[in-house]
A and B are shown apart, each in its own frame.
Chain A
Amino acid sequence: MNADDKFQQLWRSKKTAPAPDIKALLAKAAKVKGAVKRKLILSYVLLTATIIWICCIVAWSHPKMITTWIGVVLAIVAILLYLASSAGLIKQLFAKGQEEVPVQEYLQNMLQIREKQRHLQRGILNAYFILLFSGLALYMIEYARRLPATTAALVYGAVTVWGLINWFYFRKKAIAKQEQSLGAVISKLEAVIADTKN
């Protein structure tokens, strides 16, 4: 027997896993769809709850200065932006009918999505922190004015330190984590695309 025939014979001798029952297979399809839907719904519930909570605080504290209102709006925009971008990405990642396209096109699509995700996540993360902290700083003006100067300076100092820790530690950590997983996937995709072109 020549090598070709031998390889083919060995290849076909592989014991395959029994095909799952068709009903179970189709139930799995529905389950995946349901899981994605649940994740999206949970995001929107969280979003609505957070905004309602912020609105309750505002209603309870009766702000009079415009800076307080601007601060509240900025914080809400930051949260909306973050959740909208993650929901959009989930939708994009589970877009239907992509598996049917030629392999090279499929890989290019995956690469584009991942590059977009990297770009978007970094941009959104920066915007989220900037909006949230400028919102908080503006919101606090009205209440800080009622405090003695030293206490107000202390409060603002603490918030600034907290903001700097977030910017230089948590934001950097989040970007590094994202870079580690996403960067590895992007380089692998680029390598396979280059390989199919050779």
Chain B
Amino acid sequence: MTIQNGILTKSPNSSSSQQRAFDELYADYWDKVFRLCMGYVNDDDWAKDIAQDTFITVWQQLSNFRNEAAIGTWIFRIACNNCLRQLERSSKFVRKEVDKAEEGPVVNEDEVNFLYQCIATLNETDRLIISMELEDVKQAEIAGILGMSESNVRVRIHRIKEKLTEKFKAYER
């Protein structure tokens, strides 16, 4: 197995080459997947857990992967599903601290954390859409991953960015 331009090529010497392909994917995608999970849950430890689960699935399913989609799209799809699986953990809720922050001036919070907090206030689907958009995933791929139309994704991204811009304007004032 080798990866070239996001395409996985299978070779007969599968066991060690699968390990090599996985090592490569793990190195390339860990940060991206972690950020996507952070965008969804806004909690470092929780995001790390979801990212780990995602790579466990990638490892388990890599030999069954068919190049119907780019490998990156496939990994993001698994990550999105793992994020949405958190809906079943009803005892744990996403940290939406920005609601508190809006009541008064934000202190000791840098802009990076503020962005992640703002994203945490969005609904589940919008959190995933904007996380993938900021991760430079093509809008057509986001639509494919979520099972939505491309025009819908485009409209939503526009609305989300408007909301974020407004929040940042208020934050900077």
Interaction A to B: yes
8 Å CB interface, A83-141 against B? 96-107, 110, 114
Residues of A within 8 A of B38 (CB): 14, 16
Q: Which of B74, B84, B136 lies at the interface centre, i.e. has the most chain A CB atoms within 10 A of its CB?
A: B84
**Partner of A14 from B30, B81, B116, B136 at Cβ < 8 Å:** B116
Q: CA of A145 to CA of B168 in the docked complex: distance in angstroms?
A: 81
Q: Which of A11, A17, A102 contacts B145 (CB 8 A)?
A: A102
| Interface class of chain A by DSSP | helix
Considering the complex, which residues of chain B in the window 69-112 have a beta carbon less than 8 Å from any beta carbon of chain A?
A: 74, 77-78, 80-82, 84-85, 87-88, 90, 111-112
Q: Which residues of A contact B152 (CB under 8 A)?
A: 198
Whether the pair A17, B44 counts as a contact (CB closer than 8 A) is yes
Indicate the size class of the contact surface on chain A.
Answer: 35 or more
Question: Which positions in B face A, CB cutoff 8 Å?
Answer: 22-23, 26-27, 30-31, 34-35, 38-39, 44-45, 47-48, 51-52, 54-57, 59-61, 64, 74, 77-78, 80-82, 84-85, 87-88, 90, 111-112, 115-116, 123-125, 128, 131, 134-136, 144-148, 152, 161, 164-165, 168
Show 16 residue pairs from A and B whose CB-CB distance is below 8 angstroms, ordered by the A residue.
A7-B161, A11-B35, A11-B135, A14-B35, A16-B34, A17-B48, A28-B52, A29-B56, A99-B85, A100-B57, A102-B145, A104-B146, A107-B84, A184-B90, A192-B87, A195-B123
